[in-house]
């Protein structure tokens, strides 16, 4: 159960060591011998956990890699989905990097199990899950455990590779997920990641996915990486790995359902990597093997038939279809990331969105009452900036009601979260809110006056400060609607003028 004394959890790579801190997205991985930044109780717990990590038999691992994260209550995983997803992406990225295939034999450098991740949350645990007493005998050093009135002791609730729950206490042993894993002598996260990023053209782009808000493309790539890593598991047969890798390709390339999936895969790979001789032949052989495994439970051939053709399907057997697939997959990831980076640099996604749509999104964000008003304003900062960038691009059927709705919503949020506003600014905001949806002219009139007050106000604040975001939105809204104000004013004044010959 969660313990208020320990508002944190440890995430550990037991079989990967590091000589220095390594930053990967929001996480910093340190050696278990590095206690920098930890407090007294955390230092004790890290030392206790380090003593649990064993390679095999009585061989304790000298050091591993860890990161400290906010508490993950492993009894209620659904409440921590976002945190678990980020850790899963961390593991996926590390495993993917270490799976880089050998340049000649195409075998993965490390298997998925080398990047096993363990989450340990400190707290009270039942003595019966730590020391079961049925049909077992204790052969370790005598270390009696003192339980409380609830039969609980100090310990840890753990989660192994996001699947297997376990419980541990001081003196427990944590072994690899397979009987014999082996530790690579030169492996060093600090040195390896520097080399990975230097040698690879696409790993730096993949690393940037951790630093940006998730998009449909990045989510698809990260899901595909999970399937790729599954194809590198020691526990999977070659047939199972081919199926996992095929799913990885389908996910990565966004292949639709249908009978012509092989043709679509051929076209997609060729589009990304070019019409390389025999590449199409490998794709067809790989996907034929996948289909035979899925539909018949086995395949006739797990190796690439060199020089195979429609007229001559037989030929010399060469590399494993799976090993080729691992390399082709990573090349496709690189091509997709590079293309996405070019599109992002050109601002292509922004250019395809209208300001009408941006104001609709801004209104939607500002109407979300589940989020504090200040955070609502911070969340729209980027959309306001984008709308400012494209304010002079013409678009038909522009509906100013969406703009005015965003102005009223921003006014309500700003009044609630910023108590230091000047009296005249508060007065304008209050008039805009009270005018409501029906009275466009009153809202625009308040916006006109507010624009003048903002123009005469002090120097700008931080770009994402709630007041600054709201003020930028107000000025943008006035720039987009001031002509409507004068049209409505002229219309209102003409109606108020007496007809010719009418008594004054």
Model confidence pLDDT, tens digit, residues 127-179: 999 988 899 988 887 777 888 888 999 999 999 999 999 999 999 999 999 98
Question: Rounded to 10 degrees, what is the CA torsion of 452, 455, 461, 463?
Answer: 90
In sequence order, the 6+-apart residues with CB closer than 8 A to the CB of 397 are: 356
User: How far is 382 from 469, CA to CA, in rounded Å?
Assistant: 9
H or E element, residue 443: helix 440-455
Distance CA 108, CA 324 (A): 11
The candidate with the shortest Cα–Cα distance to 156, out of 183, 178, 201, 125, is: 125
pTM over 0.75: yes
Q: Helix 81-98 and helix 216-230: axis angle, to 10°?
A: 60
pLDDT at 309 over 70: no
Report d(CA 340, CA 346) in Å as an integer. Answer: 10
Task: Please state, as a whole number, how many other Cβ atoms lie within 10 Å of the Cβ of residue 236.
Answer: 17
The upper half-sphere exposure of residue 477, i.e. CA atoms within 13 Å in the direction of its Cβ, equals 38
How many Å apart are CA 180 and CA 183, to the nearest integer?
A: 10
Q: Cα 214 to chain center, whole Å?
A: 5
Highest average pLDDT, of 10-24, 337-351, 386-400, 445-459, comes from 10-24
Whether the per-residue pLDDT at 504 is higher than 60: the answer is no
Whole-number Å distance between alpha carbons of 480 and 395: 12
In 3-state terms the chain splits into helix, strand, coil percentages (rounded to 5) of 50, 10, 35
Q: Strand, coil or helix: what is 429?
A: helix
Say how many residues make up the chain. Answer: 504
pLDDT digits (tens, 9 = 90+) for 38-50: 988 999 999 999 9
Q: What number of helices (H) and strands (E) belong to the chain? A: 18, 11
The pLDDT mean for the chain works out to 89
- Contact by Cβ (8 Å): 108, 99: yes
Average the pLDDT over 325-346 and give the result: 92
Single out the residue of 35, 28, 32, 73 nearest to residue 51, CA to CA: 32
List the 22-24 sheet strands across, edge first: 22-24, 27-31, 65-70, 8-13, 118-126, 152-160, 164-168
Torsion of CA 309, 312, 318, 324, to 10 degrees: 20
Helix (H) or strand (E) holding 170: none
What are φ and ψ of residue 232, in 5° steps? Answer: -105, 10
Q: What pLDDT does 460 receive?
A: 62
Q: Check pLDDT > 70 for residue 498.
A: no
Tokens of 330: 């990573």
Rounded to the nearest 10 degrees, the angle between the axes of helix 238-253 and helix 216-230 is 170
């Amino acid at each position: 159960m969660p313990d208020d004394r320990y508002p944190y959890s440890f995430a550990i790579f037991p079989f990967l060591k590091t000589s220095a801190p390594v930053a990967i997205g929001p996480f910093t991985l340190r050696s278990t011998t590095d206690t920098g930044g930890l407090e007294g109780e955390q230092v004790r717990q890290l030392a206790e956990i380090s003593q649990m990590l064993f390679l095999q038999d009585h061989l304790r691992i000298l050091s591993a890699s860890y990161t400290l994260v906010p508490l993950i209550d492993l009894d209620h995983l659904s409440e921590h989905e976002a945190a678990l997803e980020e850790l899963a992406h961390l593991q996926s990225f590390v495993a993917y990097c270490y799976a880089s295939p050998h340049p000649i034999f195409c075998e993965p450098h490390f298997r998925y199990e080398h990047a096993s991740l363990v989450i340990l949350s400190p707290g009270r645990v039942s003595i019966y899950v730590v020391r079961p007493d049925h049909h077992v005998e204790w052969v370790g050093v005598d270390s009696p455990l003192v339980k409380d009135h609830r039969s609980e002791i100090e310990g840890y609730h753990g989660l192994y590779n996001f699947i297997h729950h376990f419980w541990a206490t001081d003196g427990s042993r944590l072994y690899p997920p397979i009987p014999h894993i082996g530790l690579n002598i030169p492996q060093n996260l600090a040195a390896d990641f520097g080399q990975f990023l230097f040698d690879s053209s696409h790993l730096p782009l993949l690393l940037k996915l951790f630093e940006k808000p998730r998009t449909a493309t990045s989510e698809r790539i990260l899901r595909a990486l999970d399937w790729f890593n599954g194809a590198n598991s020691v526990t999977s047969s070659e047939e199972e790995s081919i199926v996992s890798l095929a799913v990885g390709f389908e996910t990565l390339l966004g292949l639709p359902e249908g009978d012509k999936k092989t043709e679509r895969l051929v076209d997609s790979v060729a589009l990304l990597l070019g019409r390389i001789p025999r590449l199409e032949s490998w794709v067809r052989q790989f996907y034929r093997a996948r289909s035979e495994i899925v539909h018949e439970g086995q395949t006739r051939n797990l190796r690439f038939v060199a020089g195979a053709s429609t007229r001559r399907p037989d030929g010399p057997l060469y590399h494993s279809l799976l090993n080729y697939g691992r390399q082709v997959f990573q090349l496709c990831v690189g091509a997709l990331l590079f293309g996405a980076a070019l599109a992002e640099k050109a601002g292509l996604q922004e250019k395809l969105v209208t300001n009408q749509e941006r104001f609709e999104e801004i209104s939607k964000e500002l109407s979300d009452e589940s989020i504090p008003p200040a955070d609502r304003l911070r969340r729209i900062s980027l959309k306001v900036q984008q709308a400012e960038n494209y304010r002079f691009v013409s678009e038909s059927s522009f509906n100013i009601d969406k703009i005015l709705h965003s102005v009223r919503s921003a006014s309500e949020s700003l009044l609630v979260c910023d108590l230091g506003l000047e009296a005249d600014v508060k007065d304008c905001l209050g008039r805009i809110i009270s005018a409501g949806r029906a009275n466009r002219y009153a809202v625009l009139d308040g916006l006109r006056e507010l624009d003048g007050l903002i123009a005469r106000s002090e120097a700008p604040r931080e770009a994402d400060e709630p007041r600054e975001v709201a003020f930028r939105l107000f000025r943008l809204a006035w720039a987009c609607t001031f002509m409507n104000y004068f049209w409505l004013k002229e219309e209102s004044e003409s109606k108020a003028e007496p007809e010719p010959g009418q008594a004054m």
